[in-house]
A and B are shown apart, each in its own frame.
Chain A
Amino acid sequence: MVFQAVALLAVLGVGYYLFSNTQANLERQSIATGFGFLDKEASFEIGESLISYSASDSYLRALLVGALNTIKVSFIGIILTTVLGTIIGVARLSTNWLISKLAAGYIEVMQNIPVLLQLFFWYAIFYESFPSPRQALNPFEGLFLCNRGIIFAVPEAHPAYGAMGWSLLGVFILGWFMNRWGKRRQALTGQPFPALRLTTGLAIGLPLLVWAFHGAPTAMDIPELRGFNFTGGVTVSPEFSALLFGLVIYTSAFVAEIVRAGIQSVGRGQVEAAMAVGLRPGQILHLVILPQALRVIIPPLTSQMLNLTKNSSLAIAIGYADFVAVTNTMINQTGQAIEGVALIMVVFLIFSLSTSLFMNWYNKKMALVER
């Protein structure tokens, strides 16, 4: 009891000491405190943003732009990492010697090179090895690679695409209910219901139908070289591409190891037992291997996803305007380091805590019900 009180007092004492020092320092250097500066004009440009932004907007909006950029690169990165990591993890287990060894080499090399170095490497590739827009590499129709980034053709805007998106969303919701209903019916009557196959069919068929209904627009917005730059199409900046490449390649090596370990954790006997009761290979994967492997895979996988999000803060080193980079600019302009660092920490803590809340919920849901 005494020990605890002493420890608490010590922490409080050190805290108070630092706080009073800080107060004195701030007063002497006449740095403002508090978050009042958020409404002031930011007066710096941001290279790329998802929402409209100009230098005359407030710091708050600049920070929002940064946060959205962080979310953008993390979101796309997480999807690509999961896909690539799963492919490589499965390749590592392939019976094909060549594929397995190549995957092993990839995992070993990428895990052991610092992610920052990888980011610098990809950034250098874009800026030094790729030609100027005039001599842009054009591996196939509609795709250009140059030191201004990756430029590719996209379908021209048309109401059909919006409608397709909505129909896809509708199919997913319908699929979810169908799956639930099918499971309940199977539990009651023993008759299976092909909910997954039906949903997949609908997810492909319905958007296509909607597309055809809208007159099947095929016009493409193809990038064209005008003067020194491209117009039309979509341009992905070299900063974003380098950051995405680096993060995805680095993290997917770790994800591959996780996937491999997860699949290997399902005992041989499980598969043999499933075959013995007459399940088809697809059913074995869906009903026996995946549920058990996922229980092992998901927790470390989420922590890797969180790592990717945290590592996206390295964007500042290659000039991508993520949340940390914007905050850093803000700190340099206003001198309000404490508020800036606090903002960074709070934003990342929100990411982390919401992820771990989700994880706890998931773990509880997936935990083995022991009898």
Chain B
Amino acid sequence: MTTPPVTTREHLKPPLIKIGPLAWMRDNLFNTWYNVLLTIVTLLLLWAVVPPLFKWAFIDSLWNSSAEACRDIEGACWSIIPRNVKFIFLGFFPSGQEWRPILAMLLMLGLAFYSKDRARWKKSLLWYWLIGLIVMATLMYGGVFGMPVVETGQWSGLPLTMTLSFFGMVCAYPIGVLLALGRRSRMPAIKSLCVIYIEMIRGVPLISLLFMSSVMFPLFLPDGMTVDKVLRALAAIILFTAAYIAEVVRGGLQAIPRGQYEAADSLGLNYGKSMRLIILPQALKIVIPPTVGILLSAFKDTSLVVIIALYDVLKTTKVTLSNPKWTGYSTEAYIFLAILYFVFCYAMSSYSRRLEKELDTGH
């Protein structure tokens, strides 16, 4: 009778801890020798930069003091913002009428917030936007309901930035779609006109279009006719953005399979109907994320109107800084402005990412 061989087992080490902060640090910060090195060097760098910056921004800083008090401190002088907040945000808008641009901005932001939900994307939403824009323009310009007229030359600060962005985006979109359709058209004349337009605009910087609007455009008009400066800049922004939207929409049109076009034809739909009912709804849906990207850069690009001396929020900040009382606090003022822009842009870009995820039906 044989006895089965006695198997001895080596003692297994207890498994490494897989959870807890120590394990996490080992997995994510110190997993290889070069990661150990990188982590340590980065931590040292952060240690050298962050505490002094924190001290400058929060400990040694003044938040709401006079300009004189700021001269004696080492840290940041954030006081420049609260003390000039009205001018930075509203610029030269006549005093006593400030409620109008504020209301207009709230209305626009509310509308943008309302349109966030995809369940609300219906035809009625388009009408809301149209009405919203008209109300915004009326509030800003006045002349009715006892509101005194405020010439566009006095529109400045954040309301101007918003006017340029919102009107620019809303007007550029349909033009861009038309241009994209024109570029895909079978008619050679239309096609080449659209191609020339799109390629030319995309090849030049926005600043050259703004120059065109500010110094060249007045020469185009018949004697005695003038177009307002803000409108001209707005036109330049619209023309510029439309070309970029056109390229994005073209991408969407190209992504629609041929079968869809053929199916629309075989149903006997004419060009307009097949585009409106079959092709565009699909194509525009595909390109929503990149379109938001274009609108985002259009929003950032409105800051370029500084160069043709329009008083958007960047320019009002610069004017504040040129006041001898507040000279020398550019860093603080620009950081504040950067945060302002960042909040808007980040909201838009994270929204676009969310949409991308939602719309991805996984084909």
Contacts and interface: CB of A to CB of B under 8 A. Distances in A.
Interface stretch (B35-43, B63-71, B90-98, B134-142): B35-43
B205 A348 contact: yes
Contacts of A166: none
B208 A345 contact: yes
A95 B144 CA distance: 62
Nearest to B220: A18
A72 B303 CA distance: 25
A96 B328 contact: no
A124 B317 CA distance: 13
Interface stretch (A78-86, A104-112, A230-238, A264-272): A104-112
A35 interface: no
A3 B31 contact: no
B275 interface: no
Given A24-B223, A337-B216, A344-B208, A117 B334 contact: yes
A99 B40 CA distance: 11
Contact of A338 (B219, B221, B341): B219
Main secondary structure of the interface of A (DSSP, over half): helix
A340 B219 CA distance: 13
A102 B42 CA distance: 10
Contact of B204 (A22, A129, A344): A344
Contact of A117 (B193, B341, B346): B341
Main secondary structure of the interface of B (DSSP, over half): helix
B215 interface: yes
B331 interface: yes
Contact of A21 (B188, B202, B221, B303): B221
Nearest to A317: B307
Nearest to A306: B203
Given A120-B314, A128-B330, A313 B219 contact: no
Interface stretch (A4-12, A173-181, A194-202): A4-12
Contacts of B102: none
B304 interface: yes
A310 B32 CA distance: 42
Given A112-B341, A117-B314, A317-B307, A337 B215 contact: yes
A55 interface: no
B334 A353 contact: no
A96 B38 contact: yes
B300 interface: yes
Contacts of B59: none
Interface string A98-130: 110010000011011111111011001100110
Nearest to B346: A112
A313 B205 contact: yes
Nearest to A324: B207
B149 interface: no
B220 A98 contact: no
A289 B346 CA distance: 32
A120 B330 contact: yes
Contacts of B288: none
Contacts of B306: 116, 317
A116 B35 contact: no
A29 to B, nearest CB: 8
A23 to B, nearest CB: 10
B189 interface: yes
A345 B216 CA distance: 13
Contacts of B42: 98-99, 102
Contacts of A331: 211, 215
A275 interface: no
A303 to B, nearest CB: 9
A243 to B, nearest CB: 14
A113 B341 contact: yes
A22 B215 CA distance: 12
Interface in B214-231: 215-216, 218-223
Nearest to B37: A96
A25 interface: yes
Contacts of A24: 222-223
B274 interface: no
B270 interface: no
B348 to A, nearest CB: 9
29 contacts: A4-B189, A11-B193, A21-B219, A21-B220, A21-B221, A94-B35, A95-B28, A98-B28, A99-B38, A99-B42, A102-B42, A108-B349, A112-B300, A112-B341, A112-B345, A116-B303, A116-B314, A121-B334, A128-B331, A310-B206, A316-B307, A324-B208, A324-B211, A331-B215, A341-B208, A344-B205, A348-B208, A349-B203, A349-B204
Given A25-B223, A114-B314, A345-B204, 10 more contacts: A21-B219, A95-B31, A98-B29, A99-B42, A112-B345, A112-B349, A113-B300, A121-B330, A128-B331, A344-B211
